[in-house]
Copies of this chain bind each other. A is one copy, B any other.
Amino acid sequence: MTRFRWGIFGTGAISAKFVAGLAAARDAEAVFIASRTLGKAQKFAAGMGIPRAIAGYAEAAATGGVDAIYIATPPSEHAAHALLCIEAGIPVLVEKPFAANAADAQRVADAARARSVFVMEGLWTRFLPAAQALREKIAARAVGDARIVTGNFGTSQVPDHTNGMFNPALGGGAIAHLGAYPLSLAQWLFGTATRVQAIGTVGATGVDEDAAFQLQYPGGVTGSFFVSLRAWAPDDFQVLGTEGMLGFRGSIVRPYGLHVSRETPRGFEEAQFGWKAQLRQHGLVHHIAQRTGRSSRGRGAAVDYRYDGNGFHYEADEVRACISRGAVESQVMPLSDSIAVAATADRIRAALHGSDRA
């Protein structure tokens, strides 16, 4: 088997995770790291054991000698860097968010299709075994009719312009950096939202720091989500249906299993005067719950779908598999999904920042 050679654009923490993740991939390696400055590239190369450090992204794309390039530069640069690679005929994996806005996303997709060069968004969690299992269970109606999809992602950070997440010029903001997880998962499960609303807080550096957004999906599914750069959050993701609840074990960004609870809808008499309701009336169910630390509602079964390595190699293997069979898009993470998520993110940002950014 030929070794699959990756070039890396960008020296941030996500690039380090991707390179570390390749250890679990099928015979893959990172052969160069590119940065704006040689010093940064050399430091990353030394730290991560990459043979070659290149100054400049255009120079790196022109150098070639790779089977694909992973782009993890700031979101504001994603489209320009993807276009460099596409022009050079090199397959591209673009870290999320796919682009700074829907127009950029469309431009990259158009170029990729025109040149028949493989391009995929690096929404790595979509390829984890737990995410795949979640989608299968929803398709199999494991919780009946899905009615609500909910998720969140947040870490409290000190606002700081040197942190790209807080820098508007680099495509910062909670929606850009964190929103892709719940938005892309829901897009994958329920399609493109028809209505989008958002409320949040734009901070001193000019980016959306907290963002609550709600969406209407086809088929009567309501989405309720929030992300934050300033608050700790449960980082969960759940699909709630008429016949139960289904959610990730572990966080929305690194799920390693599912919680599935099944319960049938209650008829009126049962809900109001059934034996469970009568036990609740006299406090018995309450007392058991208080003493055991358990809810009176079933927590369901936990099913593990563990991932190997740090989880990043699944997307790398998908890129390799697609390229090896001549596909120019992934069926799991198609460009149409990336464009739709970028358009939804634009609508959320317009609501948060004022319609001038719509």
Binding site for B on A (CB under 8 A): 12-13, 16-17, 20-21, 24, 143-145, 147-148, 150, 152, 154-158, 160, 162-163, 195, 197-201, 209-216, 220, 222-226, 228, 230-235, 238, 240-245, 249-251, 254, 256-257, 261, 263-268, 271-273, 277, 280-283, 286, 289-290, 293, 295, 297, 302, 304, 306-307, 309-311
Contact = CB atoms under 8 A, between A and B. Distances in A.
A189 to B, nearest CB: 15
Contacts of A238: 234
Given A266-B156, A283-B310, A224 B226 contact: yes
A158 B154 CA distance: 35
A228 B295 contact: no
A222 B210 contact: yes
B148 A233 contact: yes
A21 to B, nearest CB: 8
29 contacts: A12-B272, A17-B281, A20-B281, A20-B283, A143-B232, A147-B209, A148-B210, A148-B212, A154-B240, A156-B264, A157-B265, A158-B265, A162-B268, A210-B220, A210-B222, A212-B223, A212-B224, A213-B214, A214-B214, A231-B242, A232-B240, A232-B261, A232-B263, A233-B240, A254-B289, A280-B310, A283-B309, A283-B311, A286-B307
- The 3 A-B residue pairs whose C-beta atoms are closest, nearest first, are A283-B310, A163-B268, A212-B224
A145 B263 CA distance: 38
Nearest to A146: B231
A81 to B, nearest CB: 20
A140 B271 CA distance: 39
A155 B309 contact: no
Contacts of A160: 267-268
Chain copies in complex: 2
B147 A231 contact: yes
A293 B250 CA distance: 7
B17 A280 contact: yes
Contact of A250 (B150, B289, B304): B289
B272 A13 contact: yes
Nearest to A215: B199
Given A158-B267, A199-B214, A283-B309, A150 B152 contact: yes
A250 B199 contact: no
Contacts of A256: 286, 289-290
A307 B283 CA distance: 10
Given A148-B233, A281-B20, A311-B283, A13 B263 contact: no
Contacts of A230: 145, 147, 242, 265
